[in-house]
Amino acid sequence: MSTFVPNTTNLPKVKDANVAILASSWHKKFVESMVVACETVLQKQGANIQKHVVPGTYEFPIAAQGLATADLELEAIICLSVLLKGDTQHFEMILNACTTGLTYVSLDLSIIIVNGILPANTIEEVIARTKSNDQNKGFEVGIATVRMIDWERSILER
């Protein structure tokens, strides 16, 4: 498990940033914990949040593309899910396809997409990264999103 501790000290405000969270319906309890942690960071920094639930992780690229195309006010899209490794290659197939798909959507549509897909080998790894503490993956993703929005805004102001 990562020993990274998210640091919210001096985290910039992103007043009125429009952010969409895509959440997978698989492993709902764990994904919802990440969503809550992520929303906590975003709200504290002044972002406006819309939340969408999709059937699974595999649907993220098409859902992100649809959101980015339909809502030109969006500054970032966050994808949150848990992928638990099983006995087949399904885990790798989904993870690779989604990572590649999200990268294409981000680059093609010039929108920040933050990958909060949590791949895990065991349920214990999932539990450790979705607890209500500073190790929750949602906090990390929220912080990364705020920093990227702030960075992009600073570039666009030049």
Of the residues 52, 90, 96, 122, which is catalytic? 90
Q: Respond yes or no: is residue 27 known to be catalytic.
A: no
Taking alpha carbons only, the member of 152, 110, 136 closest to residue 12 is 152
The residues, ordered by sequence, that sit 6+ positions from 46 with a Cβ below 8 Å of its Cβ are 13, 14, 15, 16, 17
Tens-digit pLDDT profile for residues 75-132: 999 999 999 887 777 888 999 999 999 999 999 999 999 999 999 999 998 888 888 7
Sequence spans of domains, the chain:
18-156
pLDDT-derived band of residue 25, with 50, 70 and 90 as boundaries?
A: very high
pLDDT over 70 at 2, yes or no:
no
Tens-digit pLDDT profile for residues 32-64: 999 999 999 999 999 999 999 999 999 999 999
The CATH number for 18-156, chosen from 3.40.50.960, 3.40.50.300, 3.20.20.80, 3.30.420.280, is 3.40.50.960
The pTM (predicted TM-score) of the whole model is 0.91
